């Protein structure tokens, strides 16, 4: 078993000290609101008064019985599957195929798969450069 050697005076706490600010921000602004939302969902509450009535899973039963919600949920699942999961799986499959054998023109195929990832960043860069252009940028006109 290989243990990492420590410098004199280095404590185990140093790593946690570096993580603490980000962890605190995550707990306060992400995890706590999520947990509070889940807890609040078990109550009947108008959002303003202090009167809250515990109703358990009734809110969820009402939600799952609503046809509009189920339609919206199915639309969201469609977009999640066909615009997030499926492209990632296809990309992984194509990448695994391209990595198995050395074929002529493989660099061109790899570039063709990578260009769509880069183009969006290039467009954003060009737009910001246009906005901040000192001669004819809209920000300069506004100021």
Query: Tens of pLDDT along the chain (143 residues)?
Result: 456 666 665 677 888 899 999 999 999 999 999 999 999 999 999 989 999 999 999 999 999 999 999 999 999 999 988 887 887 788 778 777 777 777 777 778 777 777 776 677 778 888 888 888 888 888 887 77
pLDDT value at residue 2: 54
What is the pLDDT, as a whole number, of residue 116?
74
Cβ atoms < 10 Å from Cβ of 137: 15
DSSP three-state, residue 8: coil
**What pTM was computed for the model?**
0.55
| Whole-angstrom Cα Rg for the chain | 26
Structure tokens at 107: 């660099």
| pLDDT of amino acid 44 | 96
Q: What is the dihedral of CA 74, 77, 79, 81, to 10 degrees?
A: -140
Provide the pLDDT for residue 8.
Answer: 60
Q: Are 54 and 43 in contact (CB under 8 A)?
A: yes
User: What is the DSSP-derived secondary structure letter of residue 137?
Assistant: -
The domain segmentation of the chain, as residue ranges, is: 12-65, 66-101, 107-143
């Amino acid at each position: 078993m290989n243990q990492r050697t420590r410098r004199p005076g280095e404590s185990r706490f140093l790593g946690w000290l570096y993580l603490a600010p980000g962890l605190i921000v995550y707990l306060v602004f992400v995890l706590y609101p999520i947990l509070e939302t889940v807890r609040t969902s078990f109550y009947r509450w108008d959002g303003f008064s202090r009167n809250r009535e515990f109703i358990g899973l009734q809110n969820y039963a009402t939600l799952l019985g609503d046809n509009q919600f189920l339609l919206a949920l199915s639309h969201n699942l469609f977009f999640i599957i066909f615009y997030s999961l499926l492209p990632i799986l296809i990309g992984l499959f194509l990448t695994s195929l391209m990595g198995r054998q050395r074929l002529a023109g493989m660099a061109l195929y790899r570039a063709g798969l990578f260009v769509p990832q880069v183009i969006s960043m290039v467009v954003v860069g060009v737009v910001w450069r246009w906005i901040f252009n000192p001669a004819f940028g809209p920000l300069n006109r506004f100021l």
